Amino acid sequence: MENRYEISSSLQSLLDHVEHILDIQINLMRKQDTPRKGLLLDAYTYEGSRTVIAFSNQQIGMLKDFVIAQNAVRLLLKGVAVKQNAYRVLTFTPESAIHGMEQIYLDVLKDEKTRHMDFWMKKKLMFHLYLLFYGTIVDLPWMLISHIIVSKMCPVMRNAQVYYLMKESMRDMHGLASFKDYVPRRYFVMHNGMFFARDLVLGEVLSEVKLNPMISIPEFKKFRNLDIKEMLTHRWQKNPWYQTKVVGDAMVTIIRKLQISERLSVQSPDSYFDMYKLGEEITVQWMNLMHIEKYYVWGTAREQQDALARQNEFEKLARLQIFGEE
């Protein structure tokens, strides 16, 4: 491993383990414009021979180590799937984009807060929401799994991990809050529900009460002490945050049925492929729950990169198909 940065012995052991399993060399890089979650550049997804894990220059100490560790675990799961000739990613095609954008447009027309928006805003909102959900569903299940694996393989990073999660949870939960009057309620609820499920599951698995969204997110605190009769009143049923909780609880139920904690409890070369398949299972079942299973398709990493490069073209094709004009 090429490394000119000071890292903990726990992270060093994890990186050595990943390199040994995948027979690769990992290069660490500090870059100013790197996202908070780090950046993984690997030969399985991008063309090139080097594998790089980049982290922000604002992240230091154990926080830096945690960000690197999380990306190293994701690299491990990708590599094991490639070795099994089973690696695939969620992507989109002109056909799936047309289907997804058309349904989003219909939902915009049905929603009482968005149906009166200007036509140009409705057209713009279609692809924005389509890509927003793509970016979340393609990432969140793997983020959830990698968090749990890191917590078990590198317990020394726990404090940094909890700090990271608390910061991210507040950002994620409120990312759409200022736009909730411009987004159909269904999509606001489903999008936030995914983050609610992530935080609730991680709070349980990591035994960290501070990660429970019913405690850490102000909008959810009001529901903690409500009894069933109160929750079923018209007042609460109309609350978007309560609806988010309902959807998030359903997603948590799915994860529990998949026995995620048990399947991630033992780290060994023989178990890593099952962990990878678990990520796919969560993705599929969450999409089915949200009824967006036809919005996206499974394909190769190259097909994903091509779709992202051609996204403007796909948007124009979808608008032409739906409206007869770009």
pLDDT tens digits for 173-183? Answer: 898 888 888 89
Which of these three, 83, 117, 142, is where a domain ends? 83
Q: DSSP of 144-203, one letter per residue?
A: HHHHHHHHHH-GGGHHHHHHHHHHHHHHHHTTTGGGGGGS-HHHHHHHHHHHHHHHHHHH
- What pLDDT was estimated at residue 145? 95
For residue 1, the model assigns a pLDDT of 61
Q: Do 124 and 261 reside in the same domain of the chain?
A: yes
To the nearest 10 degrees (0 to 180), the angle between helices 185-205 and 158-173 is: 170
* pLDDT tens-digit map of 109-154: 998 889 888 888 888 899 999 999 999 999 999 999 999 999 999 9
295 close to 318: Cβ distance less than 8 angstroms = no
pLDDT band at 311 (very low <50, low <70, confident <90, very high): very high
Measure CA 93 to chain center: 20
Residue 4: inside a domain:
no
Same-domain pairing of 174 and 221: yes
Dist. CA 192–CA 190, nearest whole Å: 6
Q: What is the mean pLDDT of the chain?
A: 90
- Check residue 2 and report its DSSP letter: B
Q: What integer is the mean pLDDT of 190-211?
A: 93
Are 243 and 138 members of one domain?
yes
Residue 60: domain span: 9-83
Alpha carbon distance 312, 130 (integer Å): 12
- Does residue 286 form part of some domain? yes
Query: Are 148 and 278 in a shared domain?
Result: yes
Going by pLDDT thresholds of 50, 70 and 90, the confidence category of residue 94 is very high
Indicate whether 2 belongs to any domain. no
* Residue 28 CB burial class (10 angstroms; 0-12, 13-18, ≥19): buried
What's the pLDDT at 234?
54
Q: Which of 99, 90, 21, 7 has its CA nearest to residue 53?
A: 7
Residue 219 lies in a domain: yes
In a domain, 130, yes or no: yes
34, part of any domain = yes
**What percentage of the chain reaches a pLDDT higher than 70?**
94
Which of 83, 100, 131 is a domain's end point? Answer: 83
* CB distance 223 to 236 below 8 Å: yes
Are residues 220 and 187 both part of a single domain?
yes
Asked if 62 and 157 touch (Cβ cutoff 8 Å), the reply is yes
pLDDT tens digits, residue range 255-281?
999 988 888 876 777 789 999 999 999
Residue 25 lies in a domain: yes
Residue 1 lies in a domain: no
Highest mean pLDDT among 23-37, 86-100, 162-176: 86-100
Q: Are residues 24 and 155 in the same domain?
A: no
At 162-199, the pLDDT tens digits run 999 999 999 998 988 888 888 999 999 999 999 999 99
Q: What is the pLDDT of residue 262?
A: 83
Same domain, yes or no: 237 and 306: yes
Mean pLDDT of 283-290: 97
pLDDT at residue 2 in the model: 59
Q: Sorting pLDDT into bands at 50, 70 and 90, what band is 230?
A: low
Assess whether 172 and 282 both reside in one domain: yes
User: What per-residue confidence (pLDDT) applies to 256?
Assistant: 94
Tokens of 14: 């994890």
Q: Count the domains in the chain.
A: 2
The residues, ordered by sequence, that sit 6+ positions from 159 with a Cβ below 8 Å of its Cβ are: 62
Single out the residue in 83, 106, 133 at which a domain terminates. Answer: 83
Q: How confident is the model at residue 3 (pLDDT cuts 50, 70, 90)?
A: low
pLDDT of 5 > 90? The answer is no
CA distance between the termini of the chain: 49
Distance CA 308, CA 71 (A): 21
Whether residue 26 contacts residue 18, with contact meaning beta carbons closer than 8 Å, is answered with yes
